[in-house]
Structure 1
């Protein structure tokens, strides 16, 4: 019943910590098995019925455009009859054929908040007051229907999914299932961090000033200060792809058939 809610995916960063791959492609296009990371993320969402995707493009965004524009040709059995200039599909398509994909140029140097802000016109066209948002480099086995139901139950403007990964990320301070403060990248910590997989009311976009706004900084801090930033604790699998070592871990899990995020 939540399936009309759009999903924004931040795809525009340069991914400098994974330069072995991102020198040649945007991080969401780094391959994990036989598909790029962005596909894995979208496949997880679509497994719960969320198929309306808004991709915030930036660095090497043309590669993401070309991948999805040519998706059907590249992943179908096709008969070419060159003399007749005729093309025939030999199979019945893919589960992905019902995906709606908005390929939105959000700028080469735009920060995360600015990228979300640039979606406002398109979000208004969806008819939904809330939208989901995540990063183009992290996978999880989070129950997205439970996440949405939780967000709608508390009535706050925003919900972030809290996970327990390494300590080099921004840390959420939580009391009574509300974020009370947001500390950016503590040196040592074993606390909860923002793992993406957020649910946001469109009013949150009003807290974003311009392209230079980092969403994880001022907007989240304002929401926390106002008691409008709720947290959904995800105790299951979550893994980002910031380094080559993390990429190798994800590849290994997927190739061995042990990928926890593969719920399809």
Structure 2
């Protein structure tokens, strides 16, 4: 089954990093967040990726073209113009990189991948968020639902902490803003049937996947939710990037299932 990753946005809320590189290449612990996402899928046996690029697409292409040498030990003999490779580090990945337009919206990017996906079920996610989601459980829930698409639903803790204030107006403690039952949001990590393409018109670069396509799927009772109660975190801001990096460096990164579940 192919894994489609949306990786073409401008990442304007992370402009401290994305002025020079696309957001999927922003590094968490020395590796792009895109690499972390692909490692999650690869752990569950999914190694055929289609990356939908736009902004600074060439840098994503360069990353994978040079992947073998980037993570290998080499000796360069400049007098003989030769390169000797000693140790190699690679992945069992097949990576198709599609340039889907600089300003193309998410739905339109997905539509442009249709000919590469064909009439098969496929996985879909964003190139800027990680989770400890069990992909096999997600697929099983989707197949049991018999719907066209399953969206992973998550509850995000509020960005601001809550204060515990007593009757005398004394603040006694701080707590994370609690997750409420009503606060389910789109966490990405979709499973899609090929019929999803019927909800995205041709020849229109302005279709936002999260608007008309998903809204119409919901109206047709074809949008299933997979509630994920575990770890999930996007990387929309510099603060979130630093938080993810801190987790990784401390060895407390719940999304790194390829390390945590060995």
TM-score bracket relative to the smaller structure: 0.7 to 0.9
TM-score by structure 2 length?
0.86
Partner SS state of residue 257, structure 2: coil
* Separation in 1, partners of 2:48, 2:2: 5
Partner SS state of residue 133, structure 1: strand
- The correspondence of residues 134-173 of structure 1 with structure 2, limited to 5 A, is 134-166=125-157
Pairwise CA distance, 1:88: 2.6
* Separation in 2, partners of 1:25, 1:81: 31
* Separation in 1, partners of 2:228, 2:14: 26
* Separation in 1, partners of 2:218, 2:29: 38
Pairwise CA distance, 1:33: 0.6
The count of corresponding residues between Structure 1 and Structure 2 is 236
Q: CA RMSD in A?
A: 1.6
Partner SS state of residue 90, structure 1: strand
- The answer to whether the 8 A contact 2:187-2:232 is kept is yes
- The answer to whether the 8 A contact 1:167-1:191 is kept is no
Find the partner of 2:54 among 49, 58, 65: 58
CA deviation string 1:46-70 (max 9, x = no partner): 0111100100000011111111100
* Separation in 1, partners of 2:95, 2:232: 24
Whose Rg is larger? Answer: 2
Partner SS state of residue 251, structure 1: helix
* Separation in 1, partners of 2:126, 2:157: 17
Find the partner of 2:218 among 211, 214, 224: 224
Pairwise CA distance, 1:263: 1.1
Are 1:90 and 2:86 matched, yes or no?
yes
Gaps of 5+ in 1: 169-187
* Separation in 1, partners of 2:138, 2:108: 24
* Separation in 2, partners of 1:249, 1:87: 38
- The answer to whether the 8 A contact 1:53-1:100 is kept is yes
Are 1:11 and 2:3 matched, yes or no?
no
2:183 corresponds to which residue?
A: 191
Find the partner of 2:209 among 197, 207, 215: 215
Partner SS state of residue 130, structure 2: strand
- The answer to whether the 8 A contact 2:73-2:88 is kept is no
Find the partner of 2:37 among 31, 38, 41: 41
TM-score by structure 1 length?
0.86
* Separation in 2, partners of 1:154, 1:89: 49
* Separation in 1, partners of 2:158, 2:23: 22
Are 1:79 and 2:37 matched, yes or no?
no
* Separation in 2, partners of 1:30, 1:189: 32
Pairwise CA distance, 1:261: 0.4
* Separation in 2, partners of 1:150, 1:56: 26
* Separation in 1, partners of 2:78, 2:231: 48
* Separation in 1, partners of 2:155, 2:141: 19
* Separation in 1, partners of 2:89, 2:12: 36
* Separation in 2, partners of 1:30, 1:166: 23
